[in-house]
Amino acid sequence: MRSTLAATSTQAQVLRDVLQWHTILATLGSSPSLSRIGPVGLRRREGAGNVRILADIANEFFGVPYVRQPVQWATDKLDVFLWSKQRAIIDSIRDNRYTAAPSCHDSGKSFDAAVASEWWIDSHPIGEAFVVSTAPSAPQVSAILWREIQKLHRKGELRGVINMGGAPEWKIDKELVAYGRKPADYNADTGFIGIHSLYPLIIVDEASGIPKPLWDAVDSLATNDNARVLAIGNPDDSASHFKTICQPGSGWNIIKIDGLQTPNFTERAVLEVSNTEGCGDLYAFMVENNIPFATEEIPDDLRPRLLGVRWVAERMKRWGVFKDPDTGLWKTSALWDAKVRADFPTDATEGVIPLGWVEAAIRRWLDFNAAGADPNEIPGVRKFSCDVARFGGDETAIAEKQGHYVVGVERIGHQDTMTTANRLKAKLERHIQSSVNVDVIGVGAGVVDRLRELGMNVMAFNASAKTSRKDKTGEFTFLNTRSAAWWRLRELLDPSDPTTNLMLPPDERLKEDLTAPRWKVAPGAHIVVEPKDQTIRRLGHSPDTGDAVVMLMWNEFTGWDGFVVEEYGGESEYAQKWSD
């Protein structure tokens, strides 16, 4: 622009005046009571586009570029409102080489990263800036961050074209300026090959799921002083590199987004939902833990897009957040810590199966499906399991798998045992040599008997039976079959085993159930998983979905030789000895 325009002294003064008033209006526009006269309000009136045009000219002429004003750029170019934590993150990208944002669910973190990406490219000359994004799975790359980037690009009428898909790209005049890839698309040994830029911005979305070699590749790209790195996501995995960089002294600027301190959590809103049907006492939790209520003013149309107060109060019940009557202390869970408080789970909140391991198995399931793979082509026979309920609040849960791929879990309420048996019979008949594990305790015994009468291949699973099995190290034994089965699923999900490949469906109830049960080591090196009724008291519901998947994996990939008769364990001393 400077090469094609020549401003007279009078024109320059006019432009300086425009810039001065533009700055004043922008400042006034940040006040809720005066927002109607700010740049956004002006642009909504007839002819308001001139304000934007003149502001761009003034910025170009007089050296006040948007590269130092990311929040103002978002206001002027995209007509979006960023709440305080979003502003803090985008300002941190401007001022710090490394920014980490462990965040709660629905805090607007991916939207903020999309705004940052658009600002970064638009505020630098074409060819000097580049944005690279990654996330653990292909759907997370394209369906979350890049979906937001595409929407904002269209809204702001920004330059270039964005091509979506599993590997989205942004090109301006045929020059590639940004792209998104999942970890498998990068070469961990050589980094981000072919990317050379004066101003690189690397965005690591859902950072808990990114493997350590890719973090090394990120470092290989962020070598010059102009480089910026943003790592965002739920702090799901306490063993991840994301936790390491979120610790004090890591060299990263850390901006935590606690869900209970997001704008919707006003005192009035929290009081309205606390102790209502299906909700915990969120008000007491916040008061007794000295968590201030929100007072930040935001536009009304933004509130539905942020974490909801009722959703959180409901999760207090579903995720086992309660006040211990004996100690007076609040007990939480891994899901609560990560999804609501933006804290990494601790030993006190992690269950038998850590949350991060479940999330990793879900990512494998999503990648498998995104690649268009067919689970029916996985070697092995179809397996089913059934945790039987009859009436009441419990649900009958039927899980299904093919090899290391868990197809899903079907939940049915208010169903008699004969109907359950007939449903299982129909499933077994559709697959040659298939079999089903059924919980034989209580009403499940009738289902087992009926399936055997029908000639079906059924194994009765007795959770209370004793077992001689040990963990894979051979060092620990188990109190009962329930403990052994839960621990076996834990071993199948353990990321320290290079052969780990179990895939779990993205089922919220399954995630809740698998991360809920607690465990301990009893005298004699016995691993003890808490009884089911203890889990029910803490959650307020039976973990039927989780139990179904635990049974589904029992006797699969065990590495144990020989066949063990477990189902007779509770019937007589003789039967127990036979089982042992």
pLDDT digit string (tens) for 313-335? 999 999 989 998 889 999 999 99
Task: Give per-residue pLDDT as tens, 197-217.
Answer: 899 999 999 999 898 888 988
pLDDT at 413: 79
pLDDT greater than 60 at residue 461 = yes
**Least trusted range by pLDDT, from 43-52, 54-63, 226-235, 454-463:** 43-52
SS (H, E, C) 513-536: HHCCCCEEEECCCEEEECCHHHHH
Q: Report the DSSP pairing between strands 396-402 and 405-412.
A: antiparallel
- SS3 call for 172: strand
**Least trusted range by pLDDT, from 43-52, 398-407, 467-476:** 43-52
Residue with tokens 């004793």: 466
Confidence of residue 65 (pLDDT cuts 50, 70, 90): confident
Report the C-alpha gap between 568 and 466 in whole angstroms.
10
| Segment 532-558 mean pLDDT | 85
CA distances from 188 to 136, 155, 176, 221, 560 (A): 14, 35, 22, 12, 36
Surface-to-core class of residue 185, CB atoms within 10 Å of its CB (0-12 exposed, 13-18 middle, 19+ buried): middle
pLDDT greater than 90 at residue 291 = yes
pLDDT at 22: 52
pLDDT greater than 80 at residue 57 = no
Which residues neighbour 471 within 8 Å (Cβ) at sequence distance 6 or greater?
A: 478, 487, 491, 527
pLDDT at 211: 87
**Residue of 269 and 138 predicted with greater confidence:** 269
pLDDT greater than 80 at residue 48 = no
pLDDT at 27: 46
| Segment 329-349 mean pLDDT | 93
pLDDT at 135: 87
Residue 257 Cα to chain centre, angstroms = 14
- SS3 call for 166: coil
Report the C-alpha gap between 214 and 285 in whole angstroms.
39
- SS3 call for 206: coil
Q: Is the pTM of this model over 0.95?
A: no
Confidence of residue 478 (pLDDT cuts 50, 70, 90): very high
Report the C-alpha gap between 160 and 171 in whole angstroms.
5
pLDDT at 559: 42
Residues constituting the chain: 580
pLDDT at 371: 86
**Least trusted range by pLDDT, from 84-93, 142-151, 560-569:** 560-569
**Least trusted range by pLDDT, from 48-57, 76-85, 528-537:** 48-57
**Residue of 49 and 396 predicted with greater confidence:** 396
| Segment 560-565 mean pLDDT | 35
Surface-to-core class of residue 63, CB atoms within 10 Å of its CB (0-12 exposed, 13-18 middle, 19+ buried): exposed
* DSSP conformation letters of 297-335: ---GGGGGGS--HHHHHHHHHHTT-EE-TTT-PEE--HH
Alpha-carbon torsion angle 412, 415, 419, 422, nearest 10? 20
pLDDT at 47: 41
pLDDT at 144: 85
pLDDT greater than 80 at residue 40 = no
Q: Report the DSSP pairing between strands 161-163 and 199-204.
A: unpaired
Confidence of residue 556 (pLDDT cuts 50, 70, 90): low
Confidence of residue 393 (pLDDT cuts 50, 70, 90): low
Surface-to-core class of residue 542, CB atoms within 10 Å of its CB (0-12 exposed, 13-18 middle, 19+ buried): buried
Q: What percent of the chain has pLDDT over 70?
A: 82
pLDDT greater than 80 at residue 8 = no
pLDDT greater than 90 at residue 572 = no
Mean pLDDT of the chain: 84
pLDDT at 387: 93
Among 373, 400, 391, CA closest to 507? 400
Report the C-alpha gap between 131 and 230 in whole angstroms.
11
Please name each of the domains of the chain with its CATH number: 1-64 (no CATH), 67-254 (3.40.50.300), 261-340 (no CATH), 355-579 (3.30.420.240)
CA end-to-end distance (rounded Å), the chain: 84
Report the C-alpha gap between 16 and 468 in whole angstroms.
84
Confidence of residue 402 (pLDDT cuts 50, 70, 90): very high
pLDDT greater than 90 at residue 573 = no
Among 227, 200, 228, 221, CA closest to 130? 200
**Residue of 7 and 343 predicted with greater confidence:** 343
Contact, 107 vs 133, CB < 8 A?
A: no
pLDDT greater than 60 at residue 459 = yes
Report the C-alpha gap between 119 and 106 in whole angstroms.
22
Q: Report the DSSP pairing between strands 477-478 and 526-529.
A: parallel
Q: Residue 112 phi/psi, 5° resolution?
A: -65, -40
Q: In this structure, is the dihedral angle defined by the CA atoms of residues 155, 156, 159 and 164, taken in order, positive or negative?
A: negative
| Segment 441-468 mean pLDDT | 92
pLDDT greater than 90 at residue 28 = no
pLDDT at 261: 97
Tokens standing for 273? 């939902």
pLDDT greater than 50 at residue 370 = yes
**Least trusted range by pLDDT, from 296-300, 399-403, 565-569:** 565-569
Confidence of residue 122 (pLDDT cuts 50, 70, 90): very high
Residue with tokens 């779990």: 504
